[in-house]
Amino acid sequence: MFINPLVLKLEQRDRLSDDEKRVLEGAISRVRVVEADEDIVHEGDHPSESNLLLDGFAARYKIFSNGRRQITAIHVAGDFVDLHSFLLRAMDHGVLALTPCRIAVVPHTMLERITAEHPHLTRLLWLNTLIDGAIHREWLTAMGRLSATAHMAHFICELFLRLDTVGRADGDTIQLPLTQAELGDTLGLSTVHVNRVLQELRKEGLIRWQGDALTILDWERLKTVGEFTPTYLNLQHEHR
Partner DNA sequence: TCCGTCATATAACATATGTGAGTGCGAGGC
Partner DNA sequence: GCCTCGCACTCACATATGTTATATGACGGA
Query: Which chain residues interact with DNA by CB under 7 A?
Result: 147-149, 179-181, 188-193, 195-196, 198-199
In angstroms, rounded to a whole number, what is the distance separating the alpha carbons of residues 130 and 107?
A: 20
Q: Is 167 in the site for its own copies (CB under 8 A)?
A: no
Q: Is 16 in the site for its own copies (CB under 8 A)?
A: no
Which residues ranging from 178 to 217 are in contact with its own copies (CB under 8 A)? 185, 187-188
Q: What's the gap between Cα 126 and its chain centre? A: 16
Which residues ranging from 57 to 86 are in contact with its own copies (CB under 8 A)? 60, 62, 64-65, 68-70, 72-73, 84
In the sheet that 69-75 helps form, which strands lie side by side, from edge to edge? 39-41, 94-97, 58-63, 69-75
17 binds, among its own copies, DNA, none (CB under 5 to 8 A by kind): none
Burial class (CB in 10 A: 0-12, 13-18, 19+), 25: middle
Give the Å distances, CA to CA, from 71 to 1, 139, 181, 187, 194. Answer: 31, 11, 11, 8, 15
Among residues 44, 37, 38, the alpha carbon closest in space to that of 93 is found at: 44
Instruction: Quote the least distance from Cβ 90 to its own copies, whole Å.
Output: 7
Binding site for its own copies (CB under 8 A): 60, 62, 64-65, 68-70, 72-73, 84, 87-90, 92-93, 115-116, 119, 122-123, 126-127, 129-134, 136-141, 143-145, 185, 187-188, 227, 231-232, 234, 236, 238, 240
